[in-house]
Amino acid sequence: MINVTVSRKNNQITEFELSGHADSGPYGYDLVCAGVSAVSFGAVNAVIALCDIHPEIEQGEEGGYLRVQFPHSLSQEIMEKTQTLLEGMIISLETIEREYSQFIKIHSK
């Protein structure tokens, strides 16, 4: 099971954490894992490239873990752009969760 935890402060996403494995298929053919990875890494790469910020990123060596914490002091314009990209990521992950809820759960804190 992949657990996604999204942390917010003042309705702004401050960090997210993904942990666990979907185990929805054999290694290399796990579509849930591939989808979650593509969505989350794509969103982080988009934030870095389009917003020119560098979040704190922690990854597990064997996969199965990603924590990304975003800087607190951003301009209003950069904060809005970052939040739009992150909310898009959450919507994509929720879409995966709707179809594959036995393999992924999203939590907010």
Instruction: Just list the catalytic residues.
Output: 21, 33
Q: Collapsing DSSP states into helix, strand and coil, what is residue 54?
A: coil
Residue 45 in tokens: 């790469």
Dist CA 45 CA 57 (whole Å): 11
* DSSP code string of 11-47: TEEEEEEEES---SSSTT--HHHHHHHHHHHHHHHHH
Residue type (1 letter), 98:
R
Residue 85 half-sphere exposure toward CB, CA atoms < 13 A? 24
